[in-house]
């Protein structure tokens, strides 16, 4: 892909002090086309930006001061930024837009990492590039998928597109605790989490179940119910996901492997592992890559598909950069890491 868009995009980053916001800032500072013009954080408003992200060096980066998101809303018509990236908690961006309608309409581009617009209202496109690349490339408003739905969709996408999968689908996933956000909570404190793993909101309770179901339906063309078992593990980041489903007709392990390899052959951020090799979270840590492995069981009647990704990169901030690259007409992999940091 050739570079056809503007040379730079000036970013107002809301929720800059959260895990996904800090990760987006890190990636943006290493990106040749993204400029952080405004940083928004209620908790840290008025502080120097150098004190906000502990992994960044303010001696190297010219970072703007941190402002309250509501103060940033007042700048929407001042040409201080042309692109809004929101890493605010679920519901917060809708609240901000309700109080400052101009913020919803004036920026040339908006990418929202919360669940507020993932069901497609107000012209928002669902930002899973591997499935919906053409619509993202022409969009001005993109809803970034959730981390679990991204892993689940990439694990199942080829089988769903080929019409192999019988309703319903069962998904189980282990996640690092950063997926719960940066706010302090007893359940995600070190003492409560270290040394064990726990299941939470199993069945159909988790908010990502509806998103998975909608995405699977779009990919397959038929209704797909989802059962989901999310689990917390004592690690900071990463998702390791397993999806199983009955198949409408037998598919051999070799046929499944070849179909997945063919579908993802030209995808820059999906790697299909060799037969007998299974994903692991450390292999994709700090990268925008998702590793996928697939086979079939029970005489080819059951699909077993697995995926690993970094929930803060391909599951959040990295995918947001990937979507921005598409929206801006830039090479899709521009400024994004493909290689993991296992140690």
Whichever domain contains 41, its CATH number is 3.40.50.720
For 178-192, the pLDDT digits (tens) are 766 656 566 666 667
Same-domain check for residues 135 and 74: yes
Identify whether 332 is part of a domain: no
In terms of domains, do 123 and 160 share one?
Answer: no
Residue 343 has pLDDT above 90, yes or no: no
Look at residue 341 and tell me if it is in a domain.
no
Q: By C-alpha distance, which of 333, 332, 337 is closest to 283?
A: 337
Task: Report pLDDT digits (tens) over 128-175.
Answer: 999 999 999 989 999 999 999 999 999 999 999 999 999 999 999 999
Domain assignment of residue 38, yes or no:
yes
pLDDT digits (tens, 9 = 90+) for 226-263: 999 999 999 989 999 999 999 999 999 999 999 999 99
In the chain, DSSP assigns E strands to: 9-14, 34-40, 66-67, 83-86, 109-112, 125-126, 141-143, 165-175, 198-199, 226-232, 239-247, 270-272, 290-297, 302-309
Residue 336 lies in a domain: no
Residue 288 inside a domain? The answer is yes
pLDDT-based confidence at residue 66 (cuts at 50, 70, 90): confident
Shared domain check, 168 and 112: no
What is the predicted pLDDT for the residue at 24? 96
Angle, helices 318-327 vs 19-29, to 10°: value is: 50
Provide the pLDDT confidence category of residue 58 given band limits of 50, 70 and 90. Answer: low
Task: For residue 236, give Cα distances in angstroms to 97, 124, 179, 283.
Answer: 32, 30, 8, 14
What is the Cα–Cα distance from 310 to 308, expressed in whole angstroms?
7
**Mean per-residue pLDDT, 47-67:** 69
Are residue 56 and residue 152 in the same domain, yes or no? no
Does 339 reside within a domain?
A: no
For residue 198, tell me if it sits in a domain. Answer: yes
On whether both 223 and 104 belong to a single domain, the answer is no
pLDDT: is 124 or 71 the higher one? 124
Residue 39 placed within a domain: yes
Band (pLDDT 50/70/90 cuts) for residue 1 is very low
In this prediction, residues 20-34 reach a mean pLDDT of: 94
Q: Biggest alpha carbon distance in the chain?
A: 63
Token pair 């995918």 is found at: 319
Whether residue 171 sits in one domain with residue 25: no
Active site residues: 147
Domains in the chain, number: 2
Task: Tell me: do 127 and 252 sit in the same domain.
Answer: no
Range of the structural domain that residue 279 is part of: 147-311
pLDDT the model gives residue 155:
98
**Average pLDDT of the residues of the chain:** 91
Task: Inform me whether the pLDDT recorded for 107 exceeds 80.
Answer: yes
Q: 61 and 129 share a domain?
A: yes
Whole-number percent of the chain with pLDDT over 70? 90
Indicate whether 123 and 200 sit together in one domain. Answer: no
- Shared domain for 166 and 251, answered yes or no, is yes
The domain that holds 268 is classified in CATH as 3.30.360.10
Rg over alpha carbons for the chain, rounded to the nearest Å, is 20
Q: What is the pLDDT of residues 204-223, one digit of tens each?
A: 999 999 999 999 999 999 99
Q: Same structural domain for residues 85 and 215?
A: no
Could you tell me the two tokens for 36?
């952080």
Based on the fold, state whether residues 159 and 297 are members of the same structural domain.
yes
């Amino acid at each position: 892909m050739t570079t056809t868009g503007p040379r730079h995009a000036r970013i107002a980053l809301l929720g800059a002090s959260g895990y996904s916001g800090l990760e987006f800032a890190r990636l943006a500072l290493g990106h040749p086309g993204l400029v952080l013009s405004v940083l928004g954080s209620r908790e840290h408003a008025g502080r120097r930006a150098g004190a906000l992200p502990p992994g960044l060096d303010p001696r190297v980066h010219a970072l703007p001061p941190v402002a309250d998101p509501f103060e940033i809303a007042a700048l929407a018509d001042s040409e201080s930024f042309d692109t809004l990236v929101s890493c605010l908690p679920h519901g917060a961006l809708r609240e901000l837009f309700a109080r400052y309608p101009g913020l919803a309409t004036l920026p040339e581009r908006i990418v929202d990492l919360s669940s507020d617009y993932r069901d497609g209202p107000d012209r928002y496109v669902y930002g899973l590039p591997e499935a919906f690349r053409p619509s993202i490339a022409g969009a001005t408003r993109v809803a970034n998928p959730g981390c679990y739905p991204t892993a689940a969709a990439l694990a199942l996408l080829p089988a769903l597109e080929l019409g192999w999968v019988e309703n319903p689908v069962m998904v189980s996933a282990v996640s690092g605790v950063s997926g719960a956000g940066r706010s302090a909570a007893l359940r995600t404190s070190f003492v409560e989490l270290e040394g064990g793993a726990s299941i939470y909101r199993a069945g159909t309770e988790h908010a990502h179940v509806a998103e998975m179901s909608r995405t699977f339906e779009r990919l397959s063309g038929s209704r797909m119910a989802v059962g989901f078992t999310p689990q917390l593990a004592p690690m900071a980041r990463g998702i390791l996901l397993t999806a199983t489903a009955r198949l409408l007709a037998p598919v051999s392990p070799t046929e499944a492997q070849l179909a997945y390899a063919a579908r993802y052959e030209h995808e820059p951020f999906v790697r299909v592992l060799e037969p007998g090799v299974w994903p692991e979270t450390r292999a994709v840590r700090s990268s925008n890559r998702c590793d996928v492995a697939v086979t079939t069981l029970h005489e080819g009647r059951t699909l077993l598909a697995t995926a690993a990704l970094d929930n803060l990169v391909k599951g959040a901030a990295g995918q947001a950069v990937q979507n921005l690259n598409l929206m801006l007409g830039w090479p899709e992999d521009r400024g994004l890491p493909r290689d993991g940091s296992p140690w």
